Structure 1
Amino acid sequence: MAVDQVGILALQRALTQAAGLLDGIGGADLDKPTPCTEWDVRRLANHLIAAPRIFVTMLQGAPPGWNGREDYTADLGDELRTRGNTLINLWREVAAAGEETMADPDWQAAEIATHTWDLATSLGITTDDLDQSVAQRALVTMDRVLGPVRKGRAWADARSAPAGSDAYTHLAAYAGRVV
């Protein structure tokens, strides 16, 4: 599949927003529960930080290896920015070379955007100020890739968001989160 430049921009924006939320995490926040019922904020933050490394590995054609041993507790936003920049630069190289790839920057943005909602919810922060177009594009991508009914462990069946919800809440509900 040819690389979509708009998808790269959506991924870059998703990473930037997630890093901004990570900047606000203090030590007392790390043990807070998250909508990802098996994770606390520490594990969610470390999953977000690991994602660009995993996506780079996938983009390079190797198996992802989601079970990394990252355990960051400080400078979380900076760590995500550094790894995110590496990922975005690789996507730009792939696009400039006209390479075909099975990887999808829109799917990666959907992963990051969904976990951005998870993190904001865990920290009691509204998603109203986030770039809603990132979540809207992520929702379209998630519907295209997964559809509403899922059998996997990572994504539950789609749910409905309350009327009047922002795009991030609709994305989270579609990802199977209780909103």
Structure 2
Amino acid sequence: MDSLELLHRADARLVGLVTGLGMDDLDLPSPCSEWNVRSLLSHTVASIDAFSAAADGGSGPTEQELFSGADILGSDPLAVVQRSVERSHRAWATIADWQAPVTSVLGEMPAGQAIGIVTYSTLLHSWDLARALGRRVEFDDAEAELAEAVGQQLVPPLRQQELFGEEVNPANGATATQRVVAFSGRSPL
């Protein structure tokens, strides 16, 4: 499965979760202990926008804005998420060489690595959102494979910056999704 297809599928899951979101749901706690659903979703959208900017050269949030959790959803979270996702799809569709460098809020990297990071972020935060809403998300094999690979590279250095918690030991027989979220410092159960 190619990078664009995985991105589109992760984004579709996010939009699906937000479609059923009520305004009261935005105040629910999330698995990210410092953030409620509004902060989590604002961060998720900011991440999508930041990596869209890396692909299309447009404006995007700063690193500080990205990790602030500040509200960017306003009164219509679904419209904000859809706009962000549409921009992302347009931006990444222009990439012809996945080895070409792009400059993201995390520094310069190959475009293929950047799209992997934003896909990982959307997958993980969709799991967070589903969990906050009392729903269940399971990654398919391709999503889990991408998430495990990206997580192994991305999480350890960001854990040192306290952007991820310590790895949680998943139970024997844990699903691939449970292993991914446990590695990122979330309780998979």
Q: Same fold (TM over 0.5)?
A: yes
Q: How far apart are the structure 1 equivalents of 2:75 and 2:59?
A: 29
- Aligned residues, how many? 174
Q: Using CA pairs under 8 Å that are at least 6 residues apart, name the structure with larger relative contact order, 1 or 2.
A: 1
Indicate the residue corresponding to 2:12 in structure 1. 16
Q: Do the aligned residues in 2 keep the contact of 1:53 with 1:87 (CA within 8 Å)?
A: yes
Over 3 Å counting, the alpha-carbon distance change for 1:28 and 1:8 in structure 2 is: same
Please list every run of 5 or more consecutive structure 2 residues that lacks an aligned counterpart in the other structure.
103-108
Over 3 Å counting, the alpha-carbon distance change for 1:147 and 1:97 in structure 2 is: closer
> Is 2:174 aligned against 1:165?
yes
Over 3 Å counting, the alpha-carbon distance change for 1:132 and 1:46 in structure 2 is: farther
Paired residue secondary structure (1:145): helix
Q: Do the aligned residues in 2 keep the contact of 1:113 with 1:135 (CA within 8 Å)?
A: no
Q: How far apart are the structure 2 equivalents of 1:62 and 1:86?
A: 11
Please list every run of 5 or more consecutive structure 1 residues that lacks an aligned counterpart in the other structure.
none
Amino acid at match of 2:125: H
Equivalent residue for 1:119, pick from 90, 110, 129: 129
| RMSD value, Cα | 2.8
Indicate the residue corresponding to 1:36 in structure 2. 32
Q: How far apart are the structure 1 equivalents of 2:45 and 2:81?
A: 5
Indicate the residue corresponding to 1:53 in structure 2. 49
Q: Please state how far the C-alpha of 1:20 moved relative to its aligned partner.
A: 0.8
Q: How far apart are the structure 2 equivalents of 1:81 and 1:40?
A: 20
Indicate the residue corresponding to 1:137 in structure 2. 146
Q: How far apart are the structure 2 equivalents of 1:141 and 1:131?
A: 15
